[in-house]
Amino acid sequence: MQRSLRFLLVRVVLAFAASFGGAAQAETARVAAASDLKFAFDELKPLFEQTHPPHRLELIMGSSGKFFQQIHHGAPFDLFFSADVDLPKQLVARGKAITPVTTYALGRIVLWSAKVDASRLRLQDLERSEFRKIAIAAPDHAPYGARAKEALQASGVWPKVESRLVFGENIAQTAQLVDQQAAEVGILALSLALSEPLRKKGAYALIPQELHQPLEQAYVLTTHGQNNAAARAFADFMRSAAARRVMVRYGFVLPGEAAP
């Protein structure tokens, strides 16, 4: 009887220890991600959590430039998915992130409108008087806004439309401006134009990539997150076939693939 009780007690203790150990390994990664990733990451988050229990992701979407400043000043993010490869590189140089800086996609910019058939538009068409307001992301801190400005300048349109520009804090807010018709047309991320909400309401035209610097997008593990198992697992997951399929569906050009 005593032997049976001792055996049962040992089993209970071992089961509790195993349960406690598993709980200790469960982590949540706080991921700062460029807002062009919103719809792709809305799909990737549950897919990751289903295949990597018990890890969890907390996604914070916004401007890459603003996230750069926040991480530089100590914001507790574990991973930074930037729309501009230079920002993660600068964080590494400043000791706020660790190598490697990993390119995960090339982004594309498009003309999009819910008011006119944007599939027929070129940048030169923005000179027309019917386009009283044209939305782009703020070029000083949003990479998609910087590329939009470059394209407008390269096409010779910038001086003629500058006074009609309205600026979103990030590319998602820029899309909202056009969606709600605070602007007749906007220069958005292809990934947003392909999302279900925008795809149902409007059309888009790709802007030639020769008109702007490449939108090389990269992620980096911050020094805050270097020991976070969930952050490392999600970084690895982004290289998986399942994650790549989602990214391709939202128009991202993956490393090693040719742009359309």
**Enclosing H/E stretch for 143:** helix 143-154
Q: Cβ(211)–Cβ(150) under 8 Å?
A: yes
226: left (phi over 0), alpha (psi -120 to 50) or beta: alpha
191 is in an annotated binding site: no
171 is in an annotated binding site: yes
Token code pair at residue 45: 């988050």
Q: Cβ(164)–Cβ(171) under 8 Å?
A: no
Half-sphere exposure of 217 (CA within 13 A, CB side): 28
Residue with tokens 């800086």: 101
In the chain, which ranges are E strands?
Answer: 28-34, 56-62, 79-82, 97-107, 109-113, 134-137, 165-168, 185-189, 203-206, 215-222
Residue ranges for the known binding site are 64, 171
Residues marked as binding for molybdate? 64, 171
